[in-house]
Amino acid sequence: MTALASQASAGAFHGGAGLIDADEVEARLVEAWRTYRRLDGRGDPFAKDGPWREMTLGFAERYNAHQDAVDMGDMVERVLQSPRPDRDMIGRAQAAVGWLALIPDDGKRKLVNLATQEMELRGGVDWRQMLRKVGRLRGAEGLRVEYRQALHAIAFRLNG
């Protein structure tokens, strides 16, 4: 039994129930991408490292970024700040991304990785566009089924 599987059977999921299902695997992987994206550009090579970051920092310095909103005449400009993830959040993200190693097939691992990133960024997956990303021409519905099967396989392996 792997460390991840023993963690699952020790009741670390579902508030002590001990079992994890494919939907929770998916939710944890999406949460992991959200956590990595919030780590100052470490989760995505293009996150917060370009001119936009410089412009927002300049805005924050000029208009007191610690306030929830800055009154600028007739409009209110919201200062959006994403709090840095704490150690527990980073640990949960690392554990969830580690679950990808439970998928033996590289192609399916890539599919789960790309699809959960899409879910985090766009709130869903366009399976027809995902076909191109994984190098296929046809079979969007089949690709979605493969994705779900891979999530079920992770859950099965975690539940021992």
Same domain, 136 and 94: yes
Same domain, 94 and 24: yes
Same domain, 32 and 96: yes
Distance between CA atoms of residues 14 and 67, nearest Å: 36
Same domain, 90 and 70: no
Sign, CA dihedral 130-136-139-144, equals: negative
Distance between CA atoms of residues 150 and 2, nearest Å: 18
Same domain, 109 and 134: yes
Same domain, 79 and 94: no
Same domain, 18 and 96: yes
pTM for the model: 0.65
Same domain, 124 and 143: yes
Same domain, 141 and 111: yes
Give, for 78, the enclosing helix (H) or strand (E).
strand 75-78
Which range marks the domain in which residue 20 is found? 3-39+85-158
Number of domains in the chain: 2
Q: What is the pLDDT of residues 105-157, one digit of tens each?
A: 999 999 999 999 999 988 899 999 999 999 888 899 999 999 999 999 999 99
Q: What is the pLDDT of residues 30-86, one digit of tens each?
A: 999 989 888 865 444 444 444 444 444 444 444 444 444 444 444 444 445 457 788
